[in-house]
Structure 1
Amino acid sequence: MASNRGVVFLGPNHVEIQSIDYPKLENPNGKKINHGVILKVVSTNICGSDQHMVRGRTTAPTGMVLGHEITGEVVELGTDVEYIKMGDLVTVPFNVACGRCRTCRAQETGVCLNVNPGRAGGAYGYVDMGGWVGGQAEYVMVPYADFNLIPFPDKAQAMEKLRDLTMLTDILPTGFHGAVNAGVGVGSTVYVAGAGPVGMAAAASAYILGAAVVMVGDMNPERLAHAKSVGYEPIDLTKDASLEDQIAQIVGKPEVDAAIDAVGFEAKSHGQHGEEAPATVLNSLMTITRAAGSIGIPGLYVTEDPGAKEQAAKTGNLSMRFGLGWAKSHRFYTGQTPVLKYNRQLMQAILHDRLPIARIVNATVISLDDAPQGYKDFDKGAAKKFVIDPHGLIPKSA
C-alpha cells in the first residue's frame, strides 16, 4: 500500500503532520464507490475557515485531516468515471456535490442534499460537512469526479500559473460570489470588510466586475499596507474616525453601493482595543450600504461556536440591527459558495492574464512539513496566502 501524510487537527492551536491512510474509493461510511478518483495533490492551501477550527472555535473533532482547497493530478480512476482521464491536472471545488439533487441541478452546489447526512452541503476536511477526508495531504479521494472536477485545458500552461490557479478551489470564487451578490457592477463604489485572502479576492473580483473604487477595511497594518500596494483604498479600523467618515473622505459621502463581509463570526469592534463582537461587521455594513443595496456575506458564520464570549453567540445567535437593514431594503446573501458556478470564467481570466490573484493575495509556497508553522503565521495575521506544496511540484516564481 502506498504511503500518505497529511495535516491533522489535534486540538486547539495544535496541528501536526502525520502518516494517514492512503485514500480508497469509498465514502465516509466505508461504502465502495466507483464515481471517484484519487489525486496526487499538487497544491493545497491554508484557509481562514481552517483557522477557525484550529483556534477551537468550532466543534471539529480531533483527528480530522484538514484541507478543502485542492489542486491535483489524477492517479487512479473509479470504474464509473467517463470523462476525467488519468494524468489530468484538475481543480477541485471545495464543495462536495453529487450533481444529481435539486440544488446541484440549480447550480447551488454549496448545499448539495446527498453528500452529508447531517445537513445540506459537504466539504473536504471540515467540521459538520459530511466526514470527507481533507486534502492537506499527499493524496486525496474526490467523489463524483465527472461532475466536481475541472481539468485544465493545457497542463504545462496550468503548472506555470499554479500559484494563481490554486485559488480557484475556494477563495477566488468565494470572493467573486460575495462581489456578485453585493451587486457590484460598472462604476460601483465598494467596501470590503477584511483584508485577509478572501477579502483581497473579493476586492480583486469587484475590480474585474467594473467597480470604480474598492475600499478594504482591517485592523492589521501589514494587511492594510499590502492592500494599498496592490491598488485598493485601505481603511484602518483602529482609528478614532468612524467607518462612515473614512469612506466619506474617499468617495464624498458616507455610503457605498455594495458591501462585502469577508470577516465572519470572529469579528472585533472598531477601535484600537476592539473586543470580539460577532455581529459588528454586519451592523456596520448595514450602516454604510445605500438604500436598496446588497450585502454579500462570504465570511463564515457558524451554528455552534464554543469559544464565543457572548452566550447567545455560542449557538450562532447574533445581536444584529436587522431593523436597519429592513428599513433600508437591503438584500443579504449568505452561505457556502457554489464554486462550480464561477470556476470556468475565473480560470479563463487567470489563464489570459486578467486576474493576477496570486500577487493580490500574496501567495506564499511552503512544504507540507512547514504547514504547522504556516498555521501559526497565518493566525498572527500574516499578509499572505499559504500554499502547501506536498510533492515539490510547484515551479519557482519568476
Structure 2
Amino acid sequence: MSSPSNRGVVFKGPGKVAIESIAFPELALGKRKCDHGVILKVITTNICGSDQHMVRGRTTAPEGLVLGHEITGVIVEAGRDVEFLNVGDVCSVPFNIACGRCRNCKSGLTGICLNVNPARPGAAYGYVDMGGWVGGQAEYVMVPYADFNLLKFPNADQAMEKIRDLTLLSDIFPTGFHGCVTAGVGPGSTVYIAGAGPVGLAAAASAHLLGAACVIVGDMIDDRLEQARSFGCETIDLKKDMPMEDQLEAILGEREVDCFVDCVGFEAHGCGCNHSHEAPATVLNSAMQVTRAGGSIGIPGLYVTEDPGAVDDAAKVGALSMRFGLGWAKSHSFHTGQCPVMKYHRNLMQAILFEKIDIAKAVNVQMINLDQAPKGYADFDGGAAKKFVIDPHGSVAA
C-alpha cells in the first residue's frame, strides 16, 4: 500500500519558495526506527520572521530545505513507545525539538537540547543549522520524542474553535512572552518593544497580560504601528529624526523604561534619516541607552553566527559593534537565545482558552492555503501587518 501524498513549502534560493511534492514522513531517524515519534496531519502552520531571514538569503540555508517550524496538527500515526498520546489528539508542536533526557532538557532549557543536533545545542524543524529536521509547512510532518514535546489540547472541538489563537503557541506567543519575562516585565512596569512584527506584537500583548502599566512599540512601518495601537499600545515612529529619549519622554514623562524587549534582531536598520541603511547593532545599543540602570533587556530577536548578506565582514560572522561598556556601567541584564517554548505553552494555552488574551487579533492572523504560501512570504517581506497562517488541508476554512 503506497503512502499518502505530501506537499510542502521548499526554499529554492534567495527570494524564492515553491510548493512541491515531498516525501511522506516516516517514523524513522535515518536508518533506525523512531518509535517515540508521531506523524501529524498539519492543521495550521505559520510563516515566521525567522523563515523570512532564510528566504531573503541572509543565512546559509541550503536550497531544497522544507521550511516551517510553527506547527499544530492532529496525530494520524503513533510509534510503539508513545504512551500518553493517541491517534486523533490535536496538539501544538514547540518549535524547539527536545529529547527530554539530556541535562539541559531536564533543567527546562529545551531550546538548547544536547541530543537532537550534531552541530550545536538546539534544534528546530525546517531551519538552517538546526539539525536537518524536515519542516512543517506541509501537509504532514513527523515529530520525535512526542510524549515530551507535544502539548495536547484538552478538547479537539474547542481547539478548532480557537485554532487561530492556539496556532501561535508553537512559537511567537511564547517567544514574545519569554522576551517580556526575561526583561522583567511585571505589574506597573514601563516597557519598550523594539519591532512591531508578529513577535513584537505578541510581546506587546504579553506585556499587557503581565500587567505592564505602559507598553511602547517602536517600528518604521505605519501599518504595523497602527496594529500595535489597536490593542492599547503607545507607539514610536522610528522614521522620525528625533532622539528616542525625547519620544519616550513625550509618552512617559521620563527618558528611560524599566524593561526593553528586542524583537528585531540582526536585520535592524538605523533610525531617523538613516532608516534605509542596515545597522545590525542599533537595537542593542538603543536598549542600553534607554533602559534604566539595573533594568533587564530581553532579546528574543534572532542573531546569527553566519550572515552572507551582512553590511560588513564583522557582521557576516555575527560580530557587532556594541557599546557594551554602557550596559556594564548601568548594570543591565541581557537574556538571549531561543525561547524554551515548553516553559510557557501550557499556561499560555489556558490564557487563550479562558479568554484572558486575544492573541490572534493582536498579531492580525491572516489565514491562507498552502498554494498561497509564496505570496504570503512576499507580502510579509513587504512589511504587511499580518501573521500568515497556512491551512494546508482546508480544515480551518471548513
Residue correspondences, number: 395
Distance 1:265 1:165 in 2: 28
Residue 133 of structure 2 corresponds to which residue in structure 1?
132
Q: In the TM superposition, what whole-angstrom CA distance separates every residue of 1:218-256 from its partner, at most 9, and x where no partner exists? A: 000110111112210010000121111101111111100
Q: 2:90 matched to 1:89?
A: yes
Equivalences for 1:347-362 in 2 at 5 Å?
A: 347-362=349-364
Residue 363 of structure 1 corresponds to which residue in structure 2?
365
**2:33 is paired with a residue of what secondary structure?**
coil
Q: 1:91 Cα shift?
A: 0.2
Equivalences for 1:1-398 in 2 at 5 Å?
A: 1-27=3-29, 29-274=30-275, 275-395=277-397
Distance 1:332 1:395 in 2: 42
Give yes or no for contact 2:366–2:386 (8 Å, CA) kept in 1.
yes
Distance 2:379 2:295 in 1: 36
Distance 2:397 2:361 in 1: 15
**2:295 is paired with a residue of what secondary structure?**
strand
Q: 1:272 Cα shift?
A: 3.9
Give yes or no for contact 2:219–2:225 (8 Å, CA) kept in 1.
yes
Tell me: CA distance 1:254–1:30, structure 2 relative to 1, closer, same or farther (3 Å).
farther
Give yes or no for contact 1:11–1:62 (8 Å, CA) kept in 2.
yes
**2:8 is paired with a residue of what secondary structure?**
strand
Q: In the TM superposition, what whole-angstrom CA distance separates every residue of 1:63-104 from its partner, at most 9, and x where no partner exists? A: 000000000000000001000111000000000000000000
Aligned identity (percent) is 69
TM (norm. structure 2) is: 0.98
Distance 2:314 2:31 in 1: 37
Q: In the TM superposition, what whole-angstrom CA distance separates every residue of 1:196-233 from its partner, at most 9, and x where no partner exists? A: 00000100111111100000000001101111122100
**1:246 is paired with a residue of what secondary structure?**
helix
**2:28 is paired with a residue of what secondary structure?**
coil
Aligned amino acid, residue 173 of structure 2: L
Q: 1:131 Cα shift?
A: 0.5
Q: 1:395 Cα shift?
A: 4.7
**1:254 is paired with a residue of what secondary structure?**
coil
Give yes or no for contact 2:391–2:397 (8 Å, CA) kept in 1.
no
Aligned amino acid, residue 96 of structure 1: I
Q: In the TM superposition, what whole-angstrom CA distance separates every residue of 1:39-75 from its partner, at most 9, and x where no partner exists? A: 0000000000000000000000000000000000000
Q: 1:33 Cα shift?
A: 1.2
TM (norm. structure 1) is: 0.98
Q: In the TM superposition, what whole-angstrom CA distance separates every residue of 1:175-196 from its partner, at most 9, and x where no partner exists? A: 0000000000110000000000
**1:67 is paired with a residue of what secondary structure?**
coil
Distance 1:14 1:319 in 2: 31
Distance 1:32 1:265 in 2: 38
**1:307 is paired with a residue of what secondary structure?**
coil
Distance 2:294 2:48 in 1: 32
Give yes or no for contact 1:159–1:395 (8 Å, CA) kept in 2.
no
Q: 1:32 Cα shift?
A: 1.9
Give yes or no for contact 2:94–2:342 (8 Å, CA) kept in 1.
yes
